[in-house]
Amino acid sequence: EAQVTQNPRYLITVTGKKLTVTCSQNMNHEYMSWYRQDPGLGLRQIYYSMNVEVTDKGDVPEGYKVSRKEKRNFPLILESPSPNQTSLYFCASSFQGGELFFGEGSRLTVL
């Protein structure tokens, strides 16, 4: 089954404790992206990747890192999480110019 898989789905952590949210897709998509969803703000792009080893900042990249060492994986790294990064995070992938396929979301709470 074609899908985008994120882990963990739910996470509660404390300020400053590094964490990684994994994302994997099995559709051989070149393009992958991370969004955060906050009430009243819709989805805002954090980082995106056009292909392996090619990443770029989206609209709200501060406090996040990404890597794209393999085509299927695009992890999101929070080196030192802060409470303002409490949010619902979505990973998505697509062929360039095509529709985005979304993961189920990862709800992160930073205390």
The upper half-sphere exposure of residue 9, i.e. CA atoms within 13 Å in the direction of its Cβ, equals 4
Least distance in Å: CB of 27 to another protein? 13
Q: Which is nearer to another protein, 14 or 41 (CB)?
A: 41
- Judged by the rule CB under 8 A, the positions of this chain that interact with another protein are 4, 30-31, 33, 35, 40-45, 48, 50, 58, 90, 92, 94-100, 102-105
Q: Which two tokens stand for residue 88?
A: 């619902």
Q: Which two tokens stand for residue 35?
A: 């969004």
Rounded to an integer, what distance in angstroms lies between the CA atom of residue 62 and that of residue 68? Answer: 18
Q: Which is nearer to another protein, 82 or 95 (CB)?
A: 95
Q: Which is nearer to another protein, 3 or 80 (CB)?
A: 3
Least distance in Å: CB of 18 to another protein? 25
Nearest to 79, CA basis, from 26, 13, 8: 13
Look-up of token digits 């994997």: 24
Rounded to an integer, what distance in angstroms lies between the CA atom of residue 68 and that of residue 48? Answer: 10
Least distance in Å: CB of 16 to another protein? 29
Least distance in Å: CB of 99 to another protein? 5
